[in-house]
Structure formats: C-alpha cells, structure tokens
Amino acid sequence: MAVRKLKPVTPGQRHKIIGTFEDITASVPEKSLVYGKRSTGGRNNTGKMTVRYMGGGHKKKYRLIDFKREKDGVPAVVKTIEYDPNRSARIALLYYADGEKRYIIAPNGLEVGATLMSGADAVPEVGNALPLANIPVGTVIHNIELRPGQGALLVRSAGNFAQLTSREGSYCVIKLPSGETRQVLSACKATIGSVGNSDHALEQSGKAGRSRWLGQRPHNRGVVMNPHDHPMGGGEGRQSGGHPRSRKGLYAKGLKTRAPKKLSNKYIIERANKK
C-alpha cells in the first residue's frame, strides 16, 4: 500500500494525499455478505438530533466481517482483497474448503491465493487465528478478543498492531498500540500480523467536501457560541476562559473519565502513555 500526492491543479488537490488502491483486486462485494446500511443523520427513533455534525454522505453497504474466526481446522483460500467504506482497513474474502465464504480484516502482507487456518493447530503465520496460548512470545498480533468466543474487539484499524510480551499463569500480557499493557485470557484468539493499509495515516483529504462524502458535517467550537448554547460560550470578542467542557458542562480534554471501580482495572498493568 502506498500513497500518491496530486499536482496542485485545483485548490482541492493542492494538499490532497490519497491511497493508490493498488492492492485491491475486486470492485464489487460478495452479495451474500452485504446488506443495506441505513443512515441516521444523528437522529434517534423519534427524529430528534442526538449527535451533532452528522448527516449526508455517500450511500454505503455493510460488509459482514468474521471477527470470531471460529471455523477451526477448515482451510480457507484468499480470493480477493477489497475496499470497505465502513473501516480504515482493507478486507479479504475467504473461500473455505466446505464452500462457505467470509470476510476478514486483511493483515499486512496477505496476498490473493494464500491459504489461512484458524484454531489451536494452526501455524503462527500471517492471517492465521490462534488462541493466545499457542502464539509464541514476541509475536505481532491484531484482532484480539477480550473474552473467549466473543469476537475480536481490540486492534482492528489500519496499520495497528499489538505485541504478545509474556505469559502469567492463565493470562497473556499484551502491549497495545496506545502503549497500554494489559492481561488477556490465554484462551482468547488473536490473528497473526499487523492490520494492512498502514499508509492510511498519511492520507489528507485536501478539501472539506471529502468530509461531507463521509457523512461529516461542519463542526463549530463551543467557545464561539452564545452562553445559552454552550458552557464555554459568551464573552467579549475572542475571550475564552476556564477548563474545556462538553455541551453538558462535563470537563473534557484531559479529565479521566474511566470509572475508578471498573472490574477490568485489575487486568491493566500499565496505563497508556498519554502526552
């Protein structure tokens, strides 16, 4: 995966940096694995706007992704690498030996024609899903479960990876992309390798219109509002004071919001190294 910078022929192309899409091998998704995705525009079931700055955007179809990888012992061949509008990573279409088709998140280095496996007997190679107990210490992994059989919740976006650092009894110690070190049960599954499309972070939209295509509407700051619109609004001229807050008056940007008695706190060995 690479990026390309366009010639500044128009103002919208002056700062535009986009992916090359050279790794994508199919333009139409597998029909049995997609369904229509209704856009909410930030409204709830009564039509009330509950989330601001959402609306519009291109119509999307949701691709069903296999985050569980529970077809143990059944080999699968990578048929295509495809674009997914619902996530930053690419997805890969697998054809299993028993005839079933499934999408997975495409790891870095996965190519069409490769054979993948999942389960305790699988070899720890790129794209294979194994229980953490069967993965060698020091291996780079992604798509990590937090509970056995629940499906992958951690490390799923483009270019991300975690590392299995050690084992302690029935738990494995994993260093996450945020810098956090935590314990995860050894029975949980993870996929070998890092998530593909690693150059996604280098992309620049170049113009506001590309945000509108993604369903993002203009975002205005609380400090430019009036006092009855936002706790940070009001004042003479460009005056702004006090700690940054949300619209409901809750502190933002730096305040720790994690519950102090959260049950999973005991599994976190070291917190994320925030600046």
Token pair 């993948």 is at which residue?
Answer: 116
With 0-12 / 13-18 / 19 or more C-beta atoms within 10 angstroms meaning exposed / middle / buried, residue 135 is buried
Give tens-digit pLDDT for 219-230.
999 889 999 999
Q: Which residues contact 144 (CB under 8 A, 6 or more apart)?
A: 132, 152, 153, 154, 155, 162, 174, 184, 188, 189, 190
DSSP annotation string for 127-139:
T-EEEGGGSPTT-
What are 192-209's pLDDT values in tens digits? 999 999 999 999 999 999
Mean pLDDT value across the chain: 93
pLDDT in tens, 14-39: 999 999 899 999 999 999 999 998 99
Residue 275 has pLDDT above 60, yes or no: no
pLDDT category at 146 given cuts 50, 70, 90 is: very high
Q: Is the pLDDT of residue 45 over 80?
A: yes
Q: Is 212 exposed, middle or buried (0-12, 13-18, 19+ CB in 10 A)?
A: middle
- The CATH number assigned to the domain with range 24-38+58-196 reads 2.30.30.30
pLDDT at position 240: 78
Other C-beta atoms lying within 10 Å of the C-beta of residue 65: 20
225-275: CATH number: 4.10.950.10
Farthest-apart Cα atoms in the chain, separation: 70
Burial of 222 (0-12, 13-18, 19+ CB in 10 A): middle
> pTM to 2 decimals?
0.90
Per-residue pLDDT, 140: 97
* Nearest alpha carbon to residue 127 among 171, 77, 86, 84: 77
Sequence ranges of the domains in the chain: 1-23+199-219, 24-38+58-196, 225-275
Helix, strand, coil % in the chain, rounded to nearest 5: 10, 30, 60
Confidence tier at 273 by pLDDT (50, 70, 90)? confident
